[in-house]
């Protein structure tokens, strides 16, 4: 499976897991449920692992891209930069989480949650840009997928 096809597969795992992680932590704290704090821990660790794989597969996807617009190229560079930022934030958070003996580190808990929600926000913007690359600019689509749209008959109102 080439990088272009592997990238969306991996990135969806990373996005899903890393968006759930801070939410699980907050609910774990509010509801005093250690199981939710462990959910936050494992989704952070697994999501960061998938994020690293998504970055690597993104390099392969970019190398295999065909012709695309200048706007698509600019958006691609922004998407890539935000991927580095998001992964760069999540990686130390995951290391912190991995070395902590507690389900959620006690020290600097507020800072921890602020950083994870900031990282999740960057990740959401990056994911939105990734969707725009494909669905608005057609970056990464095969020539057959770029065919003229089918004209459908208008829907009659009843």
The 10s digit of each residue's pLDDT in 64-101 is: 877 677 777 888 899 999 999 999 999 999 999 999 88
Pairwise CA distance, residues 115 & 111, whole Å: 6
Q: Which of 130, 100, 125, 129 is nearest to 112 (CA)?
A: 100
**pLDDT for position 3:** 58
Q: Is residue 76 situated within a structural domain?
A: yes
Tell whether the model's pLDDT for residue 120 goes beyond 60.
yes
Query: Total structural domains in the chain?
Result: 1
Pairwise CA distance, residues 13 & 93, whole Å: 18
Pairwise CA distance, residues 54 & 56, whole Å: 5
Pairwise CA distance, residues 137 & 158, whole Å: 36
Which has the minimum average pLDDT: 17-26, 47-56, 95-104, 125-134? Answer: 95-104
**pLDDT for position 90:** 98
Q: Is residue 91 situated within a structural domain?
A: yes
State pTM to two decimals.
0.85
Q: Which domain holds residue 88?
A: 3-136
Q: Is residue 10 situated within a structural domain?
A: yes
Non-local (6+) Cβ contacts of 85 within 8 A are: 122, 126
Tell whether the model's pLDDT for residue 45 goes beyond 60.
yes
Q: Is residue 51 situated within a structural domain?
A: yes
Tell whether the model's pLDDT for residue 135 goes beyond 90.
no
């Amino acid at each position: 499976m080439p990088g272009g096809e592997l990238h969306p597969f991996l990135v969806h795992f990373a996005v899903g897991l890393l968006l759930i992680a801070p939410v699980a932590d907050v609910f774990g704290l509010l509801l005093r449920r250690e199981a939710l704090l462990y959910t936050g821990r494992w989704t952070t660790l697994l999501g960061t692992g998938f994020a690293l794989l998504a970055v690597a597969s993104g390099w392969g996807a970019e190398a295999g891209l065909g012709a695309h617009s200048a706007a698509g190229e600019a958006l691609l560079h922004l998407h890539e930069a935000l991927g580095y930022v998001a992964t760069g934030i999540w990686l130390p958070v995951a290391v912190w989480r991995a070395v902590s003996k507690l389900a959620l580190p006690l020290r600097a808990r507020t800072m921890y949650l602020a950083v994870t929600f900031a990282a999740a926000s960057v990740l959401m913007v990056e994911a939105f840009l990734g969707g725009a690359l494909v669905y608005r600019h057609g970056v990464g689509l095969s020539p057959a997928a770029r065919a003229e749209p089918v004209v459908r008959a208008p829907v009659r109102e009843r």
